[in-house]
Structure 1
Amino acid sequence: MLEYVQNNIFFTLIIINYIIAIGTAFFIILNNRNPITTVSYILALVVLPFLGLLIYYFLGQEYRKDKMFKRKKVFNNETVKKWEKKLILNDNRLENYETDFLGNKVNIVKLLQNNQKKPLVFGNDVQILINGEKKFEALFKDIKEAKNHIHVEYYMFNDDKIGSQFIEALIKRAKEGIVVRVNYDYVASAISNKSIKKMKQAGIEIFPFMPVWFPNLTRKLNYRNHRKIVVIDGIIGYVGGVNVSDEYVNPNNTGYWRDTHTRLKGNVVKSIQSHFLLNWNFVSEQEIEITDHYFPEVEECGEIPVQIAASGPDSDYPHIMEALFTAINGAKDFIRITTPYFIPNDQMLTALKTASRRGVDIEILIPKEGDSWAAKYATNSYILDLLESGIKVYHYCKGMVHAKTMVVDGLLSTIGTSNMDYRSFEINFEITALIYNKEVSAEMLHIFEDDTKHCNQVAIEEWKQRSFQEKVKESFSRLWAPLL
Structure 2
Amino acid sequence: MSPYVLLFNFFFVLSLLGAGHALLTRKQPNSALVWVALCLSLPVVGVLAYVIFGVNRVRRSATRLREEFEQQKTTGYLKPPDHRAHTCLLKELPEELIMLEKIGRAMTGTFPLKGNSIRPLFNGKQAYPAMLDAIKSANESIYLSTFLLDNDPVGRSFVKSLIEAHERGVHVAVLIDGFGLMLSWRSVVRFLRKQGVPAVVFLPLSLFPPQIRLNLRNHRKLLVVDGKVGFTGGMNIGGTRSSKGYRRLTDMHYKLTGPIVSQLQQIFMEDWAYSNGEEHQPLPPAMDHTGNILARVIKDGPDNPDNPLHTSILATISAAKHSVRIMTPYFLPSAELISVLSVAALRGIAVSIVLPVRSNWPFVHWASRNYFKDLLESGVRIFYQPRPFCHTKLLVIDDCYVQFGSANMDPRSLQLNFELNVEVLDMGLANELIAHVDDTVKLSQEVTHREIVNRSLPIRMRDAFFWLFSPYL
Q: TM-score range by the shorter chain?
A: 0.7 to 0.9
Contact 1:75 1:274 in 2 (8 A): no
Residue aligning to 1:160: 152
Moved more, 447-456 or 56-65: 56-65
Distance 1:409 1:355, change over 3 A: same
Residue aligning to 1:10: none
Q: Could you list the per-position Cα deviations for residues 314-333 of structure 1 after superposition, in whole angstroms to 9, with x for gaps in the alignment?
A: 32421111221121010000
1:248 to 241, 245, 264: 241
Q: Could you list the per-position Cα deviations for residues 344-394 of structure 1 after superposition, in whole angstroms to 9, with x for gaps in the alignment?
A: 112211111101100100100011220112211221111111110101100
User: Percent identity, aligned pairs only?
Assistant: 23
Q: Could you tell me how far 1:265 is from its partner in structure 2? A: 0.6
CA distance in 2, matches of 1:373, 1:130: 25
Q: Could you tell me how far 1:281 is from its partner in structure 2? A: 0.6
SS at match of 1:286: coil
Residue aligning to 2:201: 208
1:223 to 213, 216, 222: 216
Residue aligning to 2:6: none
1:97 to 87, 92, 95: 92
Give the length in aligned residue pairs: 455
Do structure 1's residue 139 and structure 2's residue 131 form an aligned pair?
A: yes
Residue aligning to 1:348: 337
SS at match of 2:181: coil
CA distance in 2, matches of 1:441, 1:44: 49
Moved more, 403-412 or 467-476: 467-476
Task: Give the TM-score of the pair, scaled to structure 1.
Answer: 0.85
Contact 2:302 2:415 in 1 (8 A): yes
Contact 1:118 1:271 in 2 (8 A): no
1:171 to 160, 163, 167: 163
CA distance in 2, matches of 1:380, 1:279: 35
Distance 1:324 1:165, change over 3 A: same
Distance 1:259 1:176, change over 3 A: same
Do structure 1's residue 233 and structure 2's residue 226 form an aligned pair?
A: yes
Contact 1:58 1:221 in 2 (8 A): no
Do structure 1's residue 450 and structure 2's residue 445 form an aligned pair?
A: no
Matches within 5 A, 1:167-316: 167-190=159-182, 195-213=188-206, 221-249=214-242, 251-288=243-280, 290-291=281-282, 293=283, 295-316=284-305
Distance 1:471 1:164, change over 3 A: same
SS at match of 2:218: coil
CA distance in 2, matches of 1:437, 1:348: 24
CA distance in 1, matches of 2:154, 2:109: 36
Distance 1:350 1:148, change over 3 A: same
Contact 1:398 1:454 in 2 (8 A): no
Distance 1:153 1:54, change over 3 A: farther
Give unmatched runs, 5+ long, in structure 1.
Answer: 1-17
CA distance in 1, matches of 2:211, 2:455: 33
CA distance in 2, matches of 1:136, 1:143: 11
Q: Could you list the per-position Cα deviations for residues 115-166 of structure 1 after superposition, in whole angstroms to 9, with x for gaps in the alignment?
A: 4233211111111011122110110011111111110111112212211111
SS at match of 2:302: coil
CA distance in 2, matches of 1:280, 1:181: 8
Distance 1:415 1:219, change over 3 A: farther
CA distance in 2, matches of 1:194, 1:344: 34
Give unmatched runs, 5+ long, in structure 2.
Answer: 1-10
Residue aligning to 1:15: none
Contact 1:418 1:430 in 2 (8 A): yes
Distance 1:342 1:194, change over 3 A: closer
CA distance in 1, matches of 2:459, 2:409: 22
Residue aligning to 1:6: none
Contact 2:222 2:231 in 1 (8 A): yes
Q: Could you tell me how far 1:468 is from its partner in structure 2? A: 1.1
Q: Could you tell me how far 1:87 is from its partner in structure 2? A: 6.6
Q: Which amino acid aligns with 1:381?
A: N
Do structure 1's residue 359 and structure 2's residue 341 form an aligned pair?
A: no
Q: Which amino acid aligns with 1:138?
A: A
CA distance in 1, matches of 2:389, 2:211: 23
Residue aligning to 1:85: 82
Q: Could you list the per-position Cα deviations for residues 2-48 of structure 1 after superposition, in whole angstroms to 9, with x for gaps in the alignment?
A: xxxxxxxxxxxxxxxx99x97996486156144399579969999x9
Do structure 1's residue 468 and structure 2's residue 448 form an aligned pair?
A: no
The root-mean-square deviation of aligned C-alpha atoms, in Å, is 3.4
CA distance in 1, matches of 2:384, 2:146: 28
Q: Which amino acid aligns with 1:387?
A: L
Q: Which amino acid aligns with 1:97?
A: E
Residue aligning to 2:380: 391
Q: Could you tell me how far 1:462 is from its partner in structure 2? A: 2.5
